[in-house]
Amino acid sequence: MLVSTKWLADYIETKGLAPAELAEMITRSGIEVDAVIDRSHGMTNVVVGHVVECGKHPEADKLSICQVDVGEEMTQIICGAPNIATGQKVIVARPGAILAGGMKIKKAKLRGEESNGMICSLQELAIEGKLVPKAYAEGIYVLPVDTQTGADALEVLGLHDTVLELGLTPNRADAMSMLGVAYEVGAILSEDMKYPEINYTSSNEVAENVLKLRVEDLDANPMYVAKVVKNVKIGESPLWLQQRLMAAGVRPHNNVVDVTNYVLMEYGQPLHAFDYDRLETGEIVVRAARQGEKITTLDNQQRELQAHHLVITNGQEPVAIAGVMGGANSEVHEGTTTIVIESAYFKPASVRQTSKDHNLRSDASSRFEKSVDPNRVEAAAERAAQLIAELAGGEVLQGSVKVDELDKSQKEVVVSPDFINNRLGMKISLEEMTAILSRLKFDFEAANGQLYIQAPTRRQDIQIEEDIVEEIARIYGYDEIPLTLPDGEITPGGLTPYQAQRRIVRNFMEGAGLHQAITYSLTSKELAQSFALETAPVTELLMPMSEERSTLRQSLIPHLLEAATYNVARKADAVTLFETSSVFLGETAEGLPHEEEHVAAVLTGKWLDHSWQGERKTVDFFVLKGIIEGLFAKLGLDKHLSFEQAQVNGLHPGRTATIKLADKSIGVVGQLHPTEQKKRDLKETYVMELNMAKLLAFSLEPLLYTPVPRFPSISRDIALVVERAKAAGELEQIIRGAGGKLLKDVRVFDLYEGEKMEPGQKSVAFSLTYEDPERTLTDEEVVKAHSKVLKALEVEGNAQLRG
């Protein structure tokens, strides 16, 4: 809602407050002011000019040389507007003028002719093009002929004004009107507001004699009021009306349409004007649409209606979609002489559904959807009739044609002062509460320790005791509510052990250089079990959105691969993604999908390896294996981690391993099979998936800290020749089993399968560390322990030392 402070001053005295101060007070009372907009935008030296003479530029067909009286002198200005003409009153920016955006106007020469200033369009005065009247959208704006030459054009145009942009929540529909905002400001400042006076002379002719009305659906339309105005003269609205509409974000059209929009903004009650003669039947019938019935609306779109849409008809065909938009077949135009003003109350749910069905929201529908004030329906029609009589020379027929079955009673809310103070945690006296209710213009009675409050119909958000508490608090001042500590038992918050460990997993993966992804839980039936660590009967949706989103997934890998393909197709040279989320394996005893949380990752392209001075190198199996080892170490599970070569559908048979925790399989890591890579247009790509629920449920031994050793360790490196099929992990287990208590660490540091090796053999190199925390080891002790290791390797692993 855009609120002109000049317009607002017609209804309420703001005590000389600066717009920014007023905006701050409104915000503190509960309605946020999103912006304070100075409509003058710092512009200066812009005056009204009179075009005394206008002729074509001798050197340019699209330019005109104008002699313009600017009040103090006659000056020559070159203008390129197509609608410039002799005798016009125009907006002139004189040399030295500053326009919006800091643009400075200087004397210039255009094709050899002197130009002393600029004749302006409204757009050049920072008025949005969509708000400029269509007649002036492609040229300069022409002022009324009686405008004083030399006057301040910004003053004439009403631009010495400030607009407050209100960020309204859905419950504050009352503030979607100037009167509603005036009530709010009046309550804040403890000022009485001035209501518009409605006073006009009716003709002797009675409206009911020329217009018949029938409402067939009283539930959807319990109140309909029609006023008839004859002998109207369609033309431009006066400047003050156009400027108020533009300040409110509404484009001016003509005096009749502009009046209906003006009253909409003033009262918050949508109106519509029909051309009486184009109705043809002299009748209005409000009914449900017939299935498949069509109407062309004012935006020149043909719309097909459904049986639950409410329409306004002439008894034969629709002339408007009720509460949403009028029809082009009854639109007011230049030749209109008699109009019908419609003011009605339409059921919010009906308008909301119709607006949604047609994907059509208007200023009218946005208000009807939230419910308008029942007690302003007829008053708004009377206000419009008055203004049309004044501005379009119309004769208002006597009386109204109406159907009125609308409940206009006020909602009563009973609340005690103790209840209010208890909710606010403070002490506000009864006198202060009643003073606030009076400022809000709520009718009330204090009796028997209770407040019996009649909420005005304009405030349909007031329904329960807590609504009154909020009203008292915001007008009293949220800043006045004292700061207190909670009283009573406090339950400390915190993460469960599982949540804390899951956060460790996510943080580690991000720290390792992967980016978290969130993908769909739904996939196609064909992909549901792809790459799954374990399978179960799939769960299919009864009413899927599409075949691609019809089944609950049993692995995170397929969607991560989709994300990788998407990014690579957009020239990403490195994709490193991970996801922690649920897979769904069968059903629980209650018949619900059984969820297990997994963590998965996909790596493809270049990898930024900090251990190589930030060098980017191609991702391989050992990069992802290292990330897994780092994760297990972070969780304190590295001693229980092992890998075992495996065959998994969709993964490379020689570069895939099962991930084991204490000899139990909980995941898989490997390269995507070349055929799968080709199918997805991916280069060498590696994936992994872990059952995080099993990972984090593993029971850890208590963490024991040991002092930093004071005695040196001794290292021995060995290179073993073994059969190519022998796993390095198996050899490591043999070493650890034979090394005894002096062996502290074993690490693989080399694998060789090249020249000088017998067919079917390979060389695996290990580094062994021996240490005693209590003393310095002797060579004899190390040799003895090391000899046991070598003997065990020879006997149990069929391994020989490489010469």
Q: Are residues 658 and 572 in the same domain?
A: yes
- Provide the number of structural domains found in the chain: 6
CATH number for the domain that contains residue 749: 3.30.70.380
pTM: 0.68
Q: Is the pLDDT of residue 318 over 60?
A: yes
Q: How far apart are CA 61 and CA 413, in angstroms?
A: 72
8 Å CB contact between 685 and 604 = yes
**Beta bridge partners of residue 321, listed in sequence order:** 311, 325
pLDDT tens figures, 481-519? 888 777 778 788 889 989 999 999 999 999 999 999 999
pLDDT at 58: 87
| 471 annotated as belonging to a binding site for a ligand | yes
| Alpha-carbon distances of 196 from 178, 330, 655, rounded to whole Å | 11, 30, 83
CATH number for the domain that contains residue 540: 3.30.930.10
Q: Are residues 558 and 449 in the same domain?
A: no
Q: Are residues 240 and 337 in the same domain?
A: yes
Q: Domain range holding 668?
A: 497-697
Q: Are residues 377 and 263 in the same domain?
A: yes
8 Å CB contact between 695 and 636 = no
Q: Is the pLDDT of residue 611 over 60?
A: no
Q: Are residues 543 and 680 in the same domain?
A: yes
| 470 annotated as belonging to a binding site for a ligand | yes
Q: What angle do CA 702, 703, 707 make, to 5 degrees?
A: 140
Q: Are residues 302 and 356 in the same domain?
A: yes
Q: Are residues 739 and 754 in the same domain?
A: yes
CATH number for the domain that contains residue 449: 3.30.56.10
Asked whether residue 485 is domain-assigned, the answer is: no
pLDDT at 616: 67
Asked whether residue 720 is domain-assigned, the answer is: yes
| 467 annotated as belonging to a binding site for a ligand | yes
Asked whether residue 491 is domain-assigned, the answer is: no
Asked whether residue 489 is domain-assigned, the answer is: no
Work out the end-to-end distance of the chain between its first and last CA atoms, rounded to an integer number of angstroms: 87
Q: Are residues 304 and 246 in the same domain?
A: yes
Residue after which a domain boundary falls, among 662, 697, 732:
697
Asked whether residue 708 is domain-assigned, the answer is: no
Position of tokens 């004859």? Answer: 230
Residue after which a domain boundary falls, among 339, 374, 404:
404
Position of tokens 């609608």? Answer: 83
Confidence of residue 542 (pLDDT cuts 50, 70, 90): confident
Confidence of residue 614 (pLDDT cuts 50, 70, 90): low
Q: Are residues 538 and 436 in the same domain?
A: no
Q: Are residues 525 and 435 in the same domain?
A: no
Q: Are residues 567 and 686 in the same domain?
A: yes
Q: Is the pLDDT of residue 439 over 60?
A: yes
pLDDT at 612: 45
8 Å CB contact between 781 and 742 = yes
Confidence of residue 608 (pLDDT cuts 50, 70, 90): low
CATH number for the domain that contains residue 260: 3.50.40.10
Stretch 682-701: mean pLDDT, rounded? 90
% helix / strand / coil in the chain, to the nearest 5? 30, 30, 40
Count of Cβ atoms closer than 10 Å to residue 66 Cβ: 27
Q: Are residues 296 and 362 in the same domain?
A: yes
Residue after which a domain boundary falls, among 648, 664, 697:
697
Confidence of residue 122 (pLDDT cuts 50, 70, 90): very high
Asked whether residue 667 is domain-assigned, the answer is: yes
